[in-house]
Structure 1
């Protein structure tokens, strides 16, 4: 059966879809009919620019904002929803007015709201044109990948296909179709013939090899309509190493055909995957995390495949920036050491756990890791325990110090309003922030959500949570009548009904102060400097942090020894003993020095450990520091 895979809006313009590219690569292994790939989000980008007669450079920003920043309001889905709700919804004009008011309530600027309304107006025409193009391929089956804001765009195009060619099969897969959401999609939208739950390789291989729908009865992970009901085949969990290297040829062909390829091409990064699932989640799932859905079981490719995969991708496409889609970097055999030793100028990105030390981060930077997303979430150890992060404030601060030192861009988020949060957890972060403005600030400050598959959702009573139903955005995203939005939704409204008793007015004030202080942190970061350099028997400290910096200081003798012992973290008992012995000071006098340094924000004290918050400026380049740190043992 001939199959065409489609990546709908709002996939990042700068990332070819690894989902359809991995599945399309199965065709090169000789499994059934050819598999085509269509990058519908690039088609949408060009169509929208021309339909709205807007500046393409300006629309790149609009596209990125909708796809990345406004996902939580359902904007990307709502834009494509008019044809789905036309028969049973409230009517188009009331729908537009209600949603515009919803967006403005959430702080979306009027100019952007007007652009969103204009995009909604032209989206049905785009869906029809793309459906015409897909039907003209002669393919018998069309498969849409869906995650984040891709579900309703996929449904809009799928419906247009069925209007034109009812005999063709349309199926959906991806995060929005994981159990039980996929079955809910089929019940809500009868024109969808099937969904793929879990990993798609087995189902796609079966479709490509099938001669008719009857051949798909046993396809793993496929939910099919059968005699008025849904027939469900359980998904198969496959070894990670069986997944082929993605095939991105069609993405680059479509990119080259854009009238303005220079807007996107210089910023493209090639996605790859080394593992599936989450090894930390298998052990202790973070309370708020539903990211892996039902696919938590961790599987990783042998580390030796990392260099081989990246060389294959970069040589094939001439792009040297890459992007790991793994939920978490493998603990041991991750291939970074071999990549660091390879003579290639590849840069890459990984999601990592934030308790990595100097040696691990040095190795990452030497391997070309220039951006990371660490699961920091908070700088309060108490809050991190509530979130079951398996890290402390000490770990997170050390991570940020090392990233600043090595030139690694740390992209992280700050969470609050988790169940049982206490005022002191917010207050300690408010006290800390003025001392760390030289370190990378969080991208966002937000309240903890309750997402499907997370412990908060699966066992709300354990956390004193009462679920209040789907988030409000789903009333707009799935606007038809008679729909089970609870089954379709991923994020849910909630309220804490038992647990720690706090003054809600006080907590709200503290959270607002935290958000404002992070906003100031972002403004000050570019001008904030807190660094040190080693000399022969001295350390020179340069403290030019806005509002708290005290200028240049020279540390000698025991103070130099004490400071050095806490660089990248050290045990206080050992550091105090060494400094006291060197200078003949009592332990109490050394502790007085530590308290003074902590008061100035030179060091962070937590339990039995201390951490210098300044960043070493060795006057070497970042790779030189990385090579040095790779040899350290902590």
Structure 2
């Protein structure tokens, strides 16, 4: 028997089931703190259970240029007369087959979702909307409007931010209000005004001021999501191990982006201003999550780890015998001692924002790091057994062919580092400098991804609805299609090397005498084992930071030819740098998360 609620939060498909839904769980907690009776319907869970987890997650993870999740719900998001004015949009046979295979499940799914919402008798229905959720969110809104004509229907999320909400509002009149921005306070305030005083905003767009103090954001309440998930797991419809990760937020905004906005980044539209939780709260919450979830990995949603945590949070976690397993996004200029601290503090995986190994290209991106700093970060991560996820992005106005030839020249020496997770030409995302200032940045014209044209009426303002855009331009590198192919093929080769049972190694084992042995299983290796004298080991150590040839100490210079011939040292952009991984001393906390095998073959 359902209990009547004041409001019901709805999470549409296609939102991954492998992560706890952070934003909605924070909103649920914020509304419950105000004394409201809050229900939740996870349409995401119901859809995953209906069509099968693997197929569901395949759709969630599909490239944004294809967006099958949107096309699956498109026929249900519009009235027939509007649908007739929308072109088909997708021509790829595999995508058409995928959509056709799921289509019969959509109608029954929506019936089930609306029935679950109606059973809670809410006065407000709040629907989240991000990534591939536009069509499913509006399909649910249409059905709820018919089933609960007196309920207020509101929507928030990344897909209805800024001008996008204003453009979508006239098309989808089934939604009463759109929340634009961080709604931690604005949404509970809205509920207070309507449910307790009968007041409603004058306009359909509710602009939310950015949260100024992270203390005003409550701990996420995942209980409704877990209950929905467990019901389907107990029935054998979803894998018992879900969710694979618990989500957590310790900060918002980006302290680097507030100073130098990376030109391709469209995040933090609401506020780039950096805000962080206090260290005592973070340690307490992380410890509680770790205990509650029995050591399940915790993925922080932060755009970048707060610098202050290296002096506060991380030392406290490192002092624990069994710290939580953490993922964080970081800036790539971390010092090796910072990487070591993070690893000891339980951070098993990072995303360091490595997007190129060319300093000139990184300058075009406004990344604030050099190629050598990126390589040093990959080396430190391998040494300390930390997974570093990174990508290569190309297509920046001003890049040259030589930038990429220089990278191709060093790739064979770096294959013992974890390869890029992906390689792609830049997308132009709304709210990024490449979008807002595209002409000045060398992109004369931009246009929405073609895939959007099959999702909205022909007279819809796609320039205001779309999030992803193509640029009409070229670069010296893009114009050389053979070089582009060579660059991409080289990365593919690197990735294939890491699919082997024995991944490439370049490891220095030092001896008590001061000498050492280098183990080298890269394809370019001259010898699998090389004995180094104490002087050669010292020369390598002197080159663990980039140095020009000029002015090298004689004790280093006399070993340079040997080190370069063996590709233990690279000469990149007129600077020398060791790429040899020194074996790290064992740390008790590293044993808890066996990422060493993932970061290298040590």
| TM-score, with structure 1 as normaliser | 0.85
Corresponding residue for 2:148? 165
Corresponding residue for 1:53? none
In structure 2, what is the Cα distance between the partners aligned to 1:65 and 1:591?
A: 53
The answer on 1:186 being equivalent to 2:169 is yes
The answer on 1:77 being equivalent to 2:81 is no
Of 155-164 and 550-559, the range deviating more from structure 2: 550-559
In structure 2, what is the Cα distance between the partners aligned to 1:190 and 1:90?
A: 15
The Cα offsets for residues 120-147 of structure 1, whole Å up to 9 and x where unpaired, read as 3422331232012102210011111222
Would you say the 8 A contact 2:295–2:325 is kept in 1?
no
1:149 match: secondary structure: coil
Of 3-12 and 514-523, the range deviating more from structure 2: 3-12
Q: Which residue of the other structure, out of 339, 343, 349, is the alignment partner of 2:317?
A: 339
Aligned-residue offset at 1:89:
5.3
In structure 2, what is the Cα distance between the partners aligned to 1:93 and 1:282?
A: 40
In structure 2, what is the Cα distance between the partners aligned to 1:277 and 1:36?
A: 29
Q: Which runs of 5+ in 1 are unaligned?
A: 50-59, 105-109, 218-223, 583-589, 627-634
Would you say the 8 A contact 2:420–2:491 is kept in 1?
yes
Q: Which residue of the other structure, out of 252, 257, 260, is the alignment partner of 2:236?
A: 260
Corresponding residue for 2:30? 26
The answer on 1:419 being equivalent to 2:362 is no
Would you say the 8 A contact 2:261–2:433 is kept in 1?
yes
1:453 match: secondary structure: coil
Q: Which residue of the other structure, out of 193, 211, 223, is the alignment partner of 1:237?
A: 211
Aligned-residue offset at 1:90:
6.3
Aligned-residue offset at 1:549:
4.6
The answer on 1:566 being equivalent to 2:540 is no
Q: Which residue of the other structure, out of 46, 53, 61, is the alignment partner of 1:43?
A: 46
Corresponding residue for 1:220? none
Aligned-residue offset at 1:474:
0.7
1:349 match: secondary structure: strand
When residues 289 and 595 of structure 1 are mapped into structure 2, their CA distance, relative to the original with a 3 A threshold, is farther
The answer on 1:546 being equivalent to 2:539 is no
Q: Which residue of the other structure, out of 612, 615, 618, is the alignment partner of 2:578?
A: 612
1:465 match: secondary structure: coil
Q: Which residue of the other structure, out of 40, 61, 64, is the alignment partner of 2:57?
A: 64
In structure 1, what is the Cα distance between the partners aligned to 2:589 and 2:77?
A: 53
When residues 142 and 419 of structure 1 are mapped into structure 2, their CA distance, relative to the original with a 3 A threshold, is same
Of 614-623 and 150-159, the range deviating more from structure 2: 614-623
In structure 1, what is the Cα distance between the partners aligned to 2:86 and 2:366?
A: 46
The Cα offsets for residues 410-456 of structure 1, whole Å up to 9 and x where unpaired, read as 11111011111110111111111111111111111100111111001
In structure 2, what is the Cα distance between the partners aligned to 1:121 and 1:467?
A: 40
Of 426-435 and 266-275, the range deviating more from structure 2: 266-275
Equivalent pairs, count: 580
1:231-380 matches, within 5 Å, as 232-258=206-232, 259-260=235-236, 263-265=239-241, 268-333=244-309, 335-380=313-358
The Cα offsets for residues 573-599 of structure 1, whole Å up to 9 and x where unpaired, read as 89932xx2x5xxxxxxx5464355235
In structure 1, what is the Cα distance between the partners aligned to 2:367 and 2:167?
A: 32
Aligned-residue offset at 1:232:
4.8
In structure 2, what is the Cα distance between the partners aligned to 1:601 and 1:608?
A: 15
Aligned-residue offset at 1:189:
0.9
| Aligned CA-pair RMSD | 2.7
Corresponding residue for 2:495? 522
The Cα offsets for residues 258-288 of structure 1, whole Å up to 9 and x where unpaired, read as 1237725255211110101111110000001
When residues 556 and 548 of structure 1 are mapped into structure 2, their CA distance, relative to the original with a 3 A threshold, is closer
1:399-548 matches, within 5 Å, as 399-478=377-456, 480-496=457-473, 502=476, 504-506=478-480, 508-525=481-498, 526=500, 527-535=503-511, 536-548=513-525
When residues 20 and 266 of structure 1 are mapped into structure 2, their CA distance, relative to the original with a 3 A threshold, is closer
In structure 2, what is the Cα distance between the partners aligned to 1:622 and 1:465?
A: 51
Q: Which runs of 5+ in 2 are unaligned?
A: 593-602
2:317 match: secondary structure: helix
Corresponding residue for 1:124? 107
When residues 61 and 113 of structure 1 are mapped into structure 2, their CA distance, relative to the original with a 3 A threshold, is farther
Would you say the 8 A contact 1:270–1:319 is kept in 2?
no
Aligned-residue offset at 1:376:
0.5
When residues 260 and 404 of structure 1 are mapped into structure 2, their CA distance, relative to the original with a 3 A threshold, is farther
Aligned-residue offset at 1:64:
2.3
In structure 2, what is the Cα distance between the partners aligned to 1:278 and 1:339?
A: 23
Aligned-residue offset at 1:496:
2.5
Aligned-residue offset at 1:505:
3.8
Corresponding residue for 1:55? none
In structure 2, what is the Cα distance between the partners aligned to 1:264 and 1:486?
A: 42
Aligned-residue offset at 1:387:
0.5
Of 346-355 and 612-621, the range deviating more from structure 2: 612-621
Would you say the 8 A contact 2:332–2:374 is kept in 1?
yes
Would you say the 8 A contact 1:80–1:124 is kept in 2?
no
Would you say the 8 A contact 1:400–1:440 is kept in 2?
yes
In structure 1, what is the Cα distance between the partners aligned to 2:11 and 2:174?
A: 19
Aligned-residue offset at 1:10:
1.8
In structure 2, what is the Cα distance between the partners aligned to 1:248 and 1:625?
A: 29
1:355 match: secondary structure: coil
